[in-house]
Chains A and B, each alone.
Chain A
Amino acid sequence: MTRRTTLAPVGWGAVRPSVGADPGPGAYHRFAMMTSSVPVVAVDGLAKRFGEVSAVEDLSFTVERGQVYGLLGPNGAGKTTTLRVLMGLERPTEGTARLFGTVVTPSSREIARVGAMVELAAFVPHLTGMRNLRLWWEAGGAHMRDADLETALAIADLGDAIDRKVKTYSAGMKQRLGFARLLLGRPELLVLDEPTNGLDPGEIREIREMITRLSGEGVTVLLSSHHLTEVEQVCTHVLVMNRGRFVASGTVDELIGASGSVYVETDDRERARTVLAAMPGVVRVEPQGEGLVVEVRDARRSELAAALVGAGLRLETIMPTQRLEDAFLDLLATGEAAS
Chain B
Amino acid sequence: MIALVRTEFTKATRRTRTLVIALLLIGLPTLISVAVKTHGRTRRGPDGEGLFRLAEQSGLLVPAAVLSVTSAFLLIVIAATFAGDSVAGDAAWGNLRYLLMRPVSRVRLLIAKAFVAGVLIWAATVLVALAGLVAGVVLFGSHPVRVPGVGNLVTGPLGSGFELTAGDLLARTAVATGYVAFGFTALLALGTLFSTLTDSPAGAIGATAGVYIVSEILDGISQLGRIRYVLPTHYGEAWRTMFLENRYSHDMVTGLGVQVLYLLVVGTIAAVWFRAKDIRS
Contacts and interface: CB of A to CB of B under 8 A. Distances in A.
Interface of A: 84, 87-91, 106-109, 111-112, 114, 116, 118-120, 122-127, 131, 135-141, 181
B39 to A, nearest CB: 40
Contacts, number: 85
Nearest to A181: B98
12 contacts: A89-B279, A90-B280, A106-B275, A111-B101, A112-B102, A118-B101, A122-B98, A124-B93, A125-B93, A139-B7, A139-B99, A141-B4
B278 A89 contact: yes
Closest 3 CB pairs of A and B: A122-B94, A90-B278, A111-B103
B105 A89 contact: no
B264 interface: no
Among A84, A123, A124, A138, chain B packs the most CB atoms within 10 A around the CB of A124
A126 B101 contact: no
A138 B9 CA distance: 13
Given A124-B11, A126-B16, A108 B95 contact: no
A131 B13 CA distance: 13
Interface in B76-104: 90, 93-95, 97-104
B251 to A, nearest CB: 41
Interface residues of B, number: 28
Contact of A135 (B10, B15, B93, B103): B10
Nearest to B2: A141
A108 B106 CA distance: 11
B10 to A, nearest CB: 6
Please report whether the interface of chain B is mostly helix, strand, loop or mixed according to DSSP: helix
Contacts of B278: 84, 89-91
A139 B101 contact: no
B226 interface: no
A126 B90 CA distance: 12
Contact of A120 (B4, B10, B14, B94): B94
A108 B103 contact: yes
Contacts of A125: 93
A306 B165 CA distance: 101
Given A106-B100, A123-B93, A139-B99, A90 B106 contact: no
B102 A136 contact: yes
B6 A116 contact: no
Given A89-B278, A126-B14, A127-B11, A139 B106 contact: no
B181 to A, nearest CB: 26
B106 to A, nearest CB: 6
B20 interface: no
A90 B106 CA distance: 12
Interface string B242-281: 0000000000000000000000000000000001101110
Among A109, A123, A139, A140, chain B packs the most CB atoms within 10 A around the CB of A139
Contacts of A107: 100, 103-106
A144 to B, nearest CB: 11
B10 A88 contact: no
A61 B98 CA distance: 24
B3 interface: yes
A51 B276 CA distance: 16
Contacts of A91: 276, 278
B279 A84 contact: yes
Nearest to A116: B101
A107 B275 CA distance: 10
A131 to B, nearest CB: 7
